[in-house]
Amino acid sequence: MSSLRYALPRIAVHWLVAALAVFLLLTGMLVLAELPNTAQKLGNLRIHMLLGGVVALLVAVRLILARRHPAPAAARPVRAGHVALNLLLLLLAFSGVMLAVQSGAFAAVFAGGALPEDFRQFMPRKVHGLAARALMALVALHVLAALWHHVVLRDGLLARMGLGRGKA
């Protein structure tokens, strides 16, 4: 069974990134995007930017770990889905940084500048919003597939990511 599991460091990074990404997606859409760009928003933006940066670093760590600890065998479409999840996370971090630089949000959050009236006038904001929606859809598919394996096929797939005991 152990050969079918991901290595422990990969499991740890998977769940850390999953928790942070879900937090950023939900608070980004339900809180950040709804708040007017007043001084009250700065604290929320600071947390969002810092955690977004942490996610980008963790994805880089995950890519390094993947070289050291290869994943257990998986079908090609499954692997492609995992690559797409990582690419969308990197696109979110990249477009977020571009947006923060272009709009002056970095200066506002970390050096006491003013926020722009609305982020939607900046191109990277559109990319960020679209990538967030695409990631939500893909994560939903990913979770449904995992639950399908667990509940319907009962093949112990979740054990590969450290949940439960697995089958083989």
- Give contact residues for ligand HEM (rule: CB under 6 A): 10, 14, 17-18, 21-22, 24-25, 28-29, 32-33, 48-49, 52-53, 55-56, 62, 66, 71, 74, 78, 82, 85-86, 89, 92-93, 96-97, 99-100, 105, 119, 125, 128-129, 132, 139, 142-143, 146-147, 157-158, 160-161
> What are the phi and psi torsion angles at 70 (to 5°)?
-60, 150
Closest CA to 129 of 81, 96, 90, 86: 96
- Both tokens of 159, joined, read 């054990």
CA atoms of 18 and 68, how far apart (whole Å): 21
Sign of CA pseudo-dihedral 53, 54, 57, 58: negative
CB 77 within 8 A of CB 19: no
> CB neighbours (10 Å) of residue 117?
10
- Both tokens of 158, joined, read 């979740």
Least Å distance, CB 38 to ligand HEM, is 11
- Both tokens of 15, joined, read 């769940």
Query: Of 29 and 107, which CB lies nearer to ligand HEM in the complex structure?
Result: 29
Least Å distance, CB 121 to ligand HEM, is 10
